[in-house]
Structure 1
């Protein structure tokens, strides 16, 4: 996306799909009519769901919500002549909150997957997030993604990182916090972790990586995750307008500027 987490993402997703389908009919005003202009213009705001605990995407600094997706959300809302209204929500309820109309859009390092596409709409990608495999610095056996097979790896509950671990035959143990993942590796309680490259590089700016090392998965091992905004199926018009806004933000250099500010490099293109 690829600080992601970011029993459950496959299992949770199945439940979320059902909840989303059931609750969409009684969703937000924008979901009920699909007329984004009338409903959002009436409220004057674009309500955005995110976690708010995942640097550098969204987090609190001196008590104030900030981060790449926070600034991006404000920029998108401005393009739509709206004010961004952020609703911090824990991961395990984030997607369900979209289906129930708690917010209009999710900006939360959300990658496009086939299962999600069945139940929701995605914007065009705004960043391409590479995956990083983190292990102990003295581990000589785990060098590439193929070496994950049969190893005990940790990743955030329900995250795409866990999907990648399972893809390569690893034994997944869900962990909520990125710091806890790293602690378990250092302590020898886990062989490794999978997370976004941006998460580990951002962490390294203010914390020591002593005892750890990481390998960024190549495109041949695992393609970078396409990180996009998520919408309800009924909100195709809003999705189209957000796509237009993202196009403008890319053309005027805003996307690149924000990427360099928060990630140290431009990851808004492949």
Structure 2
């Protein structure tokens, strides 16, 4: 009788061990699934780390000390759809893109334009803004009337920016600087003969700042096609980029993109 009891206890113990092993395996598989897909490509669990400048209104800037702007709200809306927290990492432009390559953040949302050179090293999301360019000069300037007149002229542009690439394509000699306001100041002072920038940036700046002494002209599509502004991803994050695109489409369909565009740009510039 005692032998039978002992055997039963041993069988019960073996069953418990086997069941525990199965549950552990299931738990392990479940954990593996949670870490799979785009979530496995996030720098930090449950967090979308976003690189931006934070000094370029209306895309990203500080108001009353708090980070705000079109791309800031867009980043928060995307993170909410993903079920994660948006973590913004303000970084100077000259090291912003390189920071993505070194794994400092998951995505860059910073008025980034798709270019062939960048496509060789990074992945782009679908465009969320189509940004037109303006040619800005001093009010009294009569030497620069068309883009053909830019050749050989000094243009104040942020080093490595899309505006610099456009100015260079027209033959401009670049006067390097970091901020949009500095570019305008250099033009006003005559230290630069002009600058090319986004129409949205100039109109936003003009709301709270004087542009007296300056004039500008919107470039026609035949002169320069609107820039396709997109999220920039590391090539090691294809699943995250694809998920971002799906969420972006949801935000387009539910009207979020249009609402944010009208809030920050006074019109919808999220479509061609």
- Per the normalisation by structure 1, the TM-score is 0.85
Q: How far apart in 2 are the matches of 1:51 and 1:209?
A: 23
The residue correspondences of 1:4-43 to structure 2 (distance < 5 A) are 35-38=37-40, 40=42, 43=45
Could you say what secondary structure the match of 1:76 adopts?
Answer: helix
Cα deviation, 1:121-154, whole Å, max 9, x if unaligned, reads 0000000111111001111221221110121111
Instruction: Work out whether residues 57 and 69 of structure 1, in 8 Å CA contact, stay in contact via their aligned partners in 2.
Output: yes
Q: How far apart in 2 are the matches of 1:171 and 1:91?
A: 20
- Per the normalisation by structure 2, the TM-score is 0.84
Q: Which sections of structure 1, spanning at least 5 residues, go unmatched?
A: 1-32
The residue correspondences of 1:11-160 to structure 2 (distance < 5 A) are 35-38=37-40, 40=42, 43-160=45-162
Going from structure 1 to structure 2, the CA distance change for 1:97 and 1:42 (only over 3 Å counts) comes to closer
2:257 is aligned, of 232, 255, 264, to 255
Going from structure 1 to structure 2, the CA distance change for 1:143 and 1:41 (only over 3 Å counts) comes to closer
* CA deviation after TM superposition for structure 1 residue 160, in Å: 1.2
Instruction: Work out whether residues 34 and 237 of structure 1, in 8 Å CA contact, stay in contact via their aligned partners in 2.
Output: no
Instruction: Work out whether residues 43 and 103 of structure 2, in 8 Å CA contact, stay in contact via their aligned partners in 1.
Output: no
* CA deviation after TM superposition for structure 1 residue 39, in Å: 5.4
Match of residue 236 from structure 2? 234
Going from structure 1 to structure 2, the CA distance change for 1:75 and 1:208 (only over 3 Å counts) comes to same
Q: How far apart in 2 are the matches of 1:121 and 1:139?
A: 40
Q: How far apart in 1 are the matches of 2:54 and 2:225?
A: 26
Instruction: Quote the RMSD (CA, aligned, Å).
Output: 1.5
After the TM superposition, list the runs of 4 or more consecutive aligned residues in structure 1 that deviate by more than 6 angstroms. none
Q: How far apart in 2 are the matches of 1:135 and 1:129?
A: 19
Match of residue 210 from structure 1? 212
Q: How far apart in 1 are the matches of 2:41 and 2:171?
A: 47
* CA deviation after TM superposition for structure 1 residue 106, in Å: 0.6
Could you say what secondary structure the match of 2:113 adopts?
Answer: coil
Instruction: Work out whether residues 127 and 268 of structure 1, in 8 Å CA contact, stay in contact via their aligned partners in 2.
Output: yes
Match of residue 168 from structure 1? 170
Instruction: Work out whether residues 34 and 236 of structure 1, in 8 Å CA contact, stay in contact via their aligned partners in 2.
Output: no
Q: How far apart in 1 are the matches of 2:161 and 2:240?
A: 26
Instruction: Work out whether residues 41 and 237 of structure 2, in 8 Å CA contact, stay in contact via their aligned partners in 1.
Output: no
